[in-house]
Structure 1
Amino acid sequence: MLAGAVAVLHGAVVLFMLTGAVHAAAVQVGTYTVALGLNAVGYGLLLARARRRA
């Protein structure tokens, strides 16, 4: 469930980045930081689930 929520948030951030609606450099850096952070959380959740099942 949490991994699904992270995936949805990440998708929204990526869509926001790809629309080109953001022009301020600081906002773009923040958006990329959020996207990378969500990736890290998502992969961490996947690793934790794999370790529990092993």
Structure 2
Amino acid sequence: MVSKEQEKIFFPANDRPKTGVGWEITTTSGEAEIALAQHLANTGAKEYGCDSFRKTENRV
């Protein structure tokens, strides 16, 4: 079941991804997104997002 909040940000795909490649990138990144990507790469981050936060928030 999808919550109202999730429904607002969900965009269904119009086509299928290309095998071994994925979907074509059709947008460009802004300064903040590029800075975040550089920071994550420089710090050796393996994951970023809500799922990675949930995995660590219950650690003691």
Q: TM-score normalized by structure 2?
A: 0.26
Higher RCO, Cα 8 Å, sep 6+: 1
Greater fraction helix: 1
Compare CA radii of gyration and give the structure with the larger one. 2
Q: TM-score normalized by structure 1?
A: 0.28
